[in-house]
A = this chain, B = another copy of it.
């Protein structure tokens, strides 16, 4: 196969992400968000919130990483960040298998380059990956607040669980981490997020 044919098969597989539904609820129209829309929204966030990344972070790399970060869900589907540890482990294995298949569709040199970007995102060892992961965690919290906590209620998620995910935001961006913490506290104060399991809204 020539390069273009391989590249187009990758582009065509990407299309399937539009049918992968996340737990996050949109408000207008009121429906579940899909992984393609989510990926786009976090890329917009990287551009809009760039000055919350540590000095020297390449925002270009962050944007490319976020455009690609959920592509594996075309095969592996989406799993809530609040799912149990065993399910998360199975999901990680499925995502690695998906990455093996999907990036191999591209011409070898290009597949290796874009796969490295996904591995970098997963490993969280660079400022770019940590900032990208922070945005990936912040976006659903913003959406959940905007939707009045509907996705949280549907999953029975409480503030301690959401705050446990905020540490990843703090790790990538101290200022966005502080903001996310305040946002969660406000959600509890507003009664749209239960403080603890025995206090569900």
Contact = CB atoms under 8 A, between A and B. Distances in A.
B41 A36 contact: yes
A79 interface: no
Interface string A30-68: 000110110111011101111110000000100110011
A8 B48 CA distance: 8
Contact of A40 (B4, B19, B39): B39
B67 A47 contact: yes
User: How many copies of the chain does the oligomer comprise?
Assistant: 2
Interface residues of A, number: 46
Contacts of A47: 64, 67-68, 114
Interface of A: 3-4, 7-8, 10-12, 14-19, 26, 28-29, 33-34, 36-37, 39-41, 43-45, 47-52, 60, 63-64, 67-68, 71, 106, 110, 114, 142-143, 146, 175, 179
17 contacts: A4-B52, A4-B175, A11-B49, A12-B146, A15-B26, A15-B143, A15-B146, A18-B26, A18-B37, A36-B40, A37-B40, A40-B67, A43-B67, A44-B71, A48-B106, A50-B110, A67-B67
